[in-house]
């Protein structure tokens, strides 16, 4: 389970359909990471983690965005 209270979202990057997004965020200890999320139109409960997330921390938002784009196909488009 992902602890959403331990983060400040720096960028939330949605795909063209609005059904997927990648959050780039900073944790309280200063680490910068990213997670991929999805939502289903028929499910009113909101966003769900896909399980794809940064394997390591980054120094800044830009580096994290580039790493996410190298991993998440739709983000690179």
Q: Looking at residue 2, what is its pLDDT? A: 58
Per-residue confidence (pLDDT) for residue 26, from 0 to 100? 94
CA–CA gap between residue 77 and residue 29 (Å, rounded): 32
Q: Rounded to whole angstroms, how far apart are CA atoms 77 and 64?
A: 16
**CA of 57: how far to CAs of 16, 19, 26, 61, 67, in Å?**
27, 25, 9, 10, 10
Distance CA 28, CA 14 (A): 24
Count of domains observed in the chain: 1
* pLDDT tens digits, 33-71: 999 999 998 888 888 999 999 999 999 999 999 999 999
User: pTM of the prediction?
Assistant: 0.86
Name the residue range of residue 72's domain. 4-76
């Amino acid at each position: 389970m992902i602890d959403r209270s331990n983060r400040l979202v720096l960028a939330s990057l949605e795909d063209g359909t609005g059904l997927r997004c990648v959050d780039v965020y900073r944790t309280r200890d200063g680490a910068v990471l990213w997670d991929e999320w999805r939502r289903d139109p028929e499910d009113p409960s909101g966003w769900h983690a896909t399980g794809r997330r940064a394997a390591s921390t980054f120094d800044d938002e830009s580096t994290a965005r580039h790493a996410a784009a190298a991993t998440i196909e739709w983000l690179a488009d």
